[in-house]
Amino acid sequence: MSDNPKHPLDSTASEESLERLSKVARIEGFSDEEAEEQQGLGDSESMNPVNPRVQRYLVAIEYIGTRFSGSQQQAKDRTVVGVLQEAFHKFIGQPVKIFCSSRTDAGVHALSNVCHVDVERISKRKPGEVLPPHEPGVVQRAVNHFLQRKDGDVMVIDVWCVPSNYHARYKAQERTYFYRLLSGSDPLSILEKDRCWHVPEELNLRSMQEACRVLVGSHDFSSFRAAGCQAKSPMRSLDELNITEVPSTPYFPSITERARSNQNNGDPLACSSQPKSETAGVTTNVGEVEGSTDGDSFGRRRRHRCYVVTTRSRGFLYHQVRLIVGALKCVGTGELTVSDVERILEAKTVSAAKPMAPASGLYLARVKYEFP
């Protein structure tokens, strides 16, 4: 999302444009990973008459989930919505109410969650004087200013103007989640703390991919929804479920990779003060021979193998993704077979499932919309 002139509604928009933009088809009931099932529009604000002086903004945010007690506002605990509402209040000088597209549990991160907020721009110099709406870029920079002045664990990454009936939750067409697993016997780096699930055992990637094929598509996912799920139906369609191995992060090139890059690219700007030598067909810096035992490996951390599970659907059951990842991990370690996953799915009871994966490895990656 960006400042696209097709979408923002500025103060000069004609009544005809406003009417055309308001005729966006409403997407009916869905449920997301952390709280499910549309029950009407639910939020009473959606039923309020249109106030032409109020601009609705669609706001995309990223956040570090382990710093919050979930995304939804709570009376006493620190939440994503609570922090965001406070920043908006400081920006415009009056309280606002924010509605998220997807509710996330404590510990669950977001690369891009989306919410909407209604803002009436009132002059601070002349109380009561209503001014034209702020441009989306102004909103993004101003709210980030107040967010970063405090803990800096939430950031606005995009803002669009949308019609007054555009609901962040019910207009969402699909959601994508990532889950990160790091495999390896070495202790986890402190830079990865609360950012993944550390699995000491080796993982069989091929077996996990086969298990994904069992679960992708439309099924009764009763075995993969936690107690307390409010969804009326356990039927869900996973449009995508796969696992891939990716470079572990924070990612920095190894000696071999740096040498190979310099050798292949011939980059005159890639400088080194050390002479080159050929070792086992790879150009390396003298004293930095890959795999040597003469002390040059001292202080270097072994890399873990990093795997990412991708799930994409219009909506998810409560804890569905984490329960699926828990089963996939057991397939990877050999605790379960692919046939066991089929059996768990057919059992249609969560008591048949393996323990779910921890929240810290889960990332809400994207919420997809169609715009007028």
Q: What is the residue type of 136?
A: P
CA 224, CA 350: separation in Å to the nearest integer? 6
Number of neighbours of residue 279 by Cβ within 10 angstroms: 17
Catalytic residue among 32, 105, 151, 296: 105
Alpha carbons 74 and 83: distance in angstroms, whole number: 11
Strand pairing category for 217-220 and 154-162: unpaired
- Helix crossing, 205-215 with 320-333: angle to 10°? 140
Q: What are phi and psi of 349, to 5 degrees?
A: -150, 135
Distance CA 317, CA 234 (A): 7
Query: Before 250, cis peptide (omega within 30)?
Result: yes
Side-chain half-sphere CA neighbours of 2 within 13 A: 1
Q: Of 179, 60, 37, whose CA–CA distance to 108 is shortest? A: 179
How does DSSP assign 339-355, residue by residue? Answer: HHHHHHHHH-SGGGSPP
- Sign of the four-CA dihedral 114, 115, 121, 124: negative
105 tagged catalytic:
yes
Residues marked as catalytic: 105
